[in-house]
Amino acid sequence: MNDTLHEAGKEALEHAAHEELRRVAAIRAEGRELSPRDRMALPTQAMPCQDSALRSRNMFEVAEGYGESQARLEAERCLDCKNAPCVKGCPVWVDIPLFIKKIREGDFQGSARVIKRTNLLPSICGRVCPQESQCQAECTLGKSLKSVDQAVQIGRLERWVADRERACGACDLPDIGASSGKKVAVVGSGPAGLTTAIDLRRAGHEVVVFEAFQKTGGVMVYGIPEFRLPKSLVAMESGLLSEMGVRYELNFLVGRTRKLGALIREDGFDAVFVGAGAGLPKFMDMPGENLVGVFSANEYLTRANLMKAYDRERAATPIYPSRRVAVLGGGNVAMDSARMALRLGAEEVRVLYRRTREEMPARAEEVGHAMEEGVIFDFLASPTKVLGNDKGIAEALEILSYTLGEPDTSGRRSPVPIKGSERVVPFDTIIVAIGNESNPLLAKTTPDLKVDKRGHILVDDKQKTSMDRVYAGGDIVLGAATVILAMGEGRRAAAAINELLA
């Protein structure tokens, strides 16, 4: 397991970092700067976390965030490489060496400003980006120390800078260009939509964001749990857009409340960006899957997150009372579902995955956290059917064991079922977390919008769709991906729209 993730008290970590910083200061007092060798010797700063026994029963954020000494010390580790490989690993091109340098110089507000030049949602990205496969994967320090875990902890620093800025109540708004007289519609208020809206507004366009739900944030409010991404942060960061003059139209489903084409033809929008998300849960297509007690991860998480079903006293939306929970799948959503089920009071939560831990698409950090909290992993196992009682209520899964065979097209060794290995294991709740297909609604109500056979909207290298003045990005184009990839597509689309309207 990633040794930078081990649990340690925030105070102890902060104290140790403080001591280390004194040594750094002593070097500087001698009138010399730290050499790369000195920097490489500084310890990677671990993320302080809530104790696992405690946090597995509460909704508070698991990762507590660095203190100032930890942040400053981690910033000292950066080698400030001239070619900045980390920036190339960032889908929204944050000037990473510069924001880290500003931390080192104690100019925290300046650091926030650097990040926000290209990413207005740093509290979110600092928490949910898979940095280990993006910026941190490219980090020279990590490569020199031969472990991506030893890379500069860019995500943790980004989070610290953003959290500190917010705590100071000093959030700078980006400059807004002179009014262009042009109007752009953004469909969906998830990561792709918000990012696009910001860049469009900066260019001086009037921007209206349409959201089907009652809250902004898309997957960041319905999907990603409170304990990983506090909803107050999403509300705050999407609130910045309102301050910039972006208008939200909530409870508005483009395609139904208004047709996409009508926005351009009749409502005077000069362009449209579609960032509607994936949003059609896949099921296993196995017998018994419609029994009571079987949920898509989307449904389970939406009840718990957006509808706040965990607050049993106040929320009107019910959540299923679970004792033994099986989560099917091995991605981040599966981890979120499993950890949420524990927090909602399940006695036993098992993740069933056809391959092994090495092949799991979930972030190592999420898998580690889930394990610490008591989620049990059944690798090389997948269900063949759900068994229920005469009232149509799920009671068990028939599970088949697998072994790993030859690598498939994804390069991962493909699971091969072991004949005759079926066993029946009792479960009252089954959460299916095997991904999403694209939502057919917009394509169905917009015949001119071309989609591929899986329903993903087809776009060119500038995110433009088959329709004039209509662009798209995020999961509705990519299939289920990450927050930051959606943001990258949003930025590209916004650049193309700004060019179109220039």
Partner 1 sequence: MSKILAKRKLSEEVYRLEVEAPLVARERKAGQFVIVQVDEDFGERIPLTIADADPGRGSVTLVFQTVGASTHALAQKEIGDSITLLGPLGNPTHIERFGKAVCVGGGIGLAPLHPIVQALKAAGNEVVVIAGARTRELIIMREELEAIADEFILVTDDGSAGRKALVTEPLKELCEAAAPGAVKPDIVVAIGPPIMMKFCAETTRPFGVKTLVSLNTIMIDGTGMCGGCRVSVGGETKFVCVDGPEFDGHLVDWSGMMSRLRSYKAQEDEAHHKCHIGLGTDAPVGAGALTGGAARQEGSR
| Interacting residues with partner 1 (CB under 8 A) | 212-215, 222, 250-253, 256-258, 277, 279-281, 283, 285, 289-293, 295-296, 298-299, 302-303, 307-308, 311, 314-318, 320-321, 391-393, 439-441
- Of 37 and 314, nearer to partner 1 (C-beta) is 314
Residue found by looking up tokens 């965990």 in the block: 310
Query: Is the CB of 176 or the CB of 280 nearer to partner 1?
Result: 280
CB of 295 to partner 1, least distance (A): 7
Provide, rounded to whole angstroms, the least separation between the CB of residue 59 and partner 1.
Answer: 15
Rg, C-alpha atoms of the chain: 24
Shortest approach of partner 1 to residue 262 CB, angstroms? 9
Sheet with 324-328, side-by-side order of all strands:
294-296, 429-432, 324-328, 348-353, 376-379
Q: Which of 33, 118, 59, 463 is nearest to 272 (CA)?
A: 463
Question: Which residue type does 157 have?
Answer: L
**Cβ 259 to partner 1, closest distance in Å?**
8
Complex with partner 1: residue 15 or 259, whichever CB lies closer? 259
**C-alpha dihedral over 134, 106, 41, 10, to 10 degrees?**
-80
Query: Minimal CA–CA distance to 160: which of 25, 245, 66?
Result: 66
Please, which residues bridge with residue 273 across strands? 186, 471
- Nearest approach, Cβ of residue 31 and partner 1 (Å): 58
- Measured CA to CA in angstroms, residue 148 lies from 45, 81, 465 at distances of 13, 16, 37
Question: CB 234 → partner 1: shortest distance, Å?
Answer: 14
Residue with Cβ nearer partner 1 (9 or 392): 392
Q: Of the candidates 191, 197, 7, 33, which has an alpha carbon nearest to the alpha carbon of residue 104?
A: 33
In angstroms, what is the minimal distance from the CB of 256 to partner 1? 6
**Partner residues linked to 399 by β-bridges:** 383, 423
DSSP 8-state secondary structure symbol assigned to residue 132: G
Cβ-contact 457, 475 below 8 angstroms: no
* Cβ nearer to partner 1, comparing 62 with 212: 212
**How far is residue 48's CA from residue 67's CA, in Å, rounded to a whole number?**
9
- Gap between the Cα atoms of 213 and 215, Å rounded: 5
Compute the least distance from the CB of residue 236 to partner 1, in Å.
Answer: 16
What is the closest distance, in whole angstroms, from the C-beta atom of residue 264 to partner 1 in the complex? Answer: 16
**Which residue, 123 or 439, has its beta carbon nearer to partner 1?**
439
Q: Would you state the structure tokens that stand for residue 364, as one six-digit string?
A: 């190592």
CA atoms within a 13 Å half-sphere pointing along the CA-CB vector of 184: 37
Name the minimum Å distance from CB 140 to partner 1.
42
Our CB check for partner 1 shows the closer of 126 and 329 to be: 329
Going along 8-94, which residue ranges are E strands?
none
Give the residue with the Cβ less far from partner 1, 209 or 497. 209
Q: Which residue, 336, 346, 313, is CA-closest to 427?
A: 346
Of 203 and 346, the one with the shorter C-beta distance to partner 1 is: 346
Identify which of residues 391 and 419 has a Cβ nearer to partner 1 in the complex. 391
Closest distance to partner 1 from the beta carbon of 188 (Å): 11
The stretches of 139-218 forming alpha helices (DSSP H) are: 140-144, 154-167, 191-202
| Shorter beta-carbon distance to partner 1: residue 342 or 394 | 394
Contact, 292 vs 428, CB < 8 A?
no
Whole-number minimum distance, CB 339 to partner 1, in Å?
A: 19
Q: Which three-class secondary structure string do you get for 420-485?
A: CCCEEEECCEEEECCCEEECCHHHHHCCCCCECCCCCECCCCCCECCCCCEEECCHHHHCCCCHHH
How far apart are the C-alpha atoms of 159 and 128, rounded to whole Å? 10
CB nearer partner 1, residue 10 or residue 308: 308
